[in-house]
Amino acid sequence: MSAVYVLLLLLPLVSAQTYHWGPCPNPKVQPNFKLEQYLGRWYEIEKLPASFEKGKCIEANYAVRSDGTIRVLNSGFDKDKVTAIEGTAVIQDPREPAKLGVGFSYFAPYGSYWILTTDYTSLSVVYSCTDIFRIFRFEFAWVLGRSRFMPAETLSYAKGLLIKEGIDISGMKATGQMGCKDN
């Protein structure tokens, strides 16, 4: 009975998320991931909707801090103002460096941030999933680029990879990158 109560409490959160029944899949991640090459600015091209990400001109900047953690600075433009949030990423297991944990609060555990593929210079495909008692899961996916616009064939490749890994992308939405301060 307690699982039913938890489900009812979580229902308001579901409307702005992508969720499915069952546990999270276990997609393959980038082999031989090199964090140093991944650092820097990435622009959000498309994503599965997330309540915490709204607006346009969304980008993420990654830099290594002196303590070895990774500074994550996400920013965008929403309702006529710039929004930004800073978080921390860590490589949780050195044997799988493409499986990062990311957090934006000291009070919440790290969420998964798995780099499924990247060429470091133009494309990154990222997946995150949290399952609730293996009954259902919240999923996030991002297609990121080093520039605000991505060739159609590159975007098609990224989406095909997500589909191949069993991730439903039917709800993916393009992120507006027009009218940003640098274009």
The CATH number of the domain holding residue 139 is 2.40.128.20
Q: What is the structure's pLDDT at 16?
A: 47
Average pLDDT of each block of 10 consecutive residues along the chain (183 residues)? 42 59 96 98 95 90 98 94 96 97 93 98 97 93 98 98 97 95 70
Host domain of residue 82: 25-174
Name all contacts of 117-123 with Cβ < 8 Å and 24+ positions apart: 117/30, 117/158, 117/161, 118/30, 118/33, 118/38, 120/34, 120/37, 120/38, 121/146, 122/146, 122/147, 122/150, 122/154, 123/150, 123/154, 123/157, 123/158
Q: Is residue 10 part of a domain?
A: no
State the pTM of this model: 0.90
Q: Is residue 159 part of a domain?
A: yes
Q: Is residue 183 part of a domain?
A: no
Distance CA 126, CA 148 (A): 17
Q: Is residue 5 part of a domain?
A: no
Our count of domains for the chain comes to 1
Q: Is residue 15 part of a domain?
A: no
Q: Is residue 180 part of a domain?
A: no
